[in-house]
Amino acid sequence: MSNEQSDNLMSVISEVFAPLEVSLDSTFDDLGATSVSLLRLMVSIQSAFDVDLDVVDMFTVANVGELVQLVEERVPAPK
């Protein structure tokens, strides 16, 4: 995943939790995440990055940094 893609991913996450400030250390509890907001985030990430995520992934990552790492691992390699 390129730096630009990482920045775009952080933008997607920030949009879901606006107006709160999101950092890699932010936990989803700190951001006031609900099951609906996590599902919305999952769909947004899948759409933007063509990556497979499931509901369990969204509830098992501890913070934004872990989610970013998970997405980076699953983003398809450029063709």
Instruction: Report domain extents, the chain.
Output: 3-74
**Sign (positive or negative) of CA dihedral 57, 20, 9, 40:** positive
Instruction: State residue 13's pLDDT score.
Output: 96
**Residue 47 has what pLDDT?**
95
Distance CA 45, CA 53 (A): 8
- Cα–Cα distances (Å) from 52 to 5, 34, 42, in that order, read 16, 21, 9
Q: Let me know if 13 is exposed, middle or buried by CB neighbors in 10 A (0-12, 13-18, 19+).
A: buried
Report the C-alpha gap between 79 and 56 in whole angstroms: 29
Report pTM: 0.89
Hey, what CATH class is 3-74 in?
A: mainly alpha
| pLDDT value of position 76 | 80
Tell me the average confidence (pLDDT) per consecutive run of 10 residues in the chain, 79 residues long: 84 96 95 96 95 94 95 84
pLDDT for the residue 1 = 65
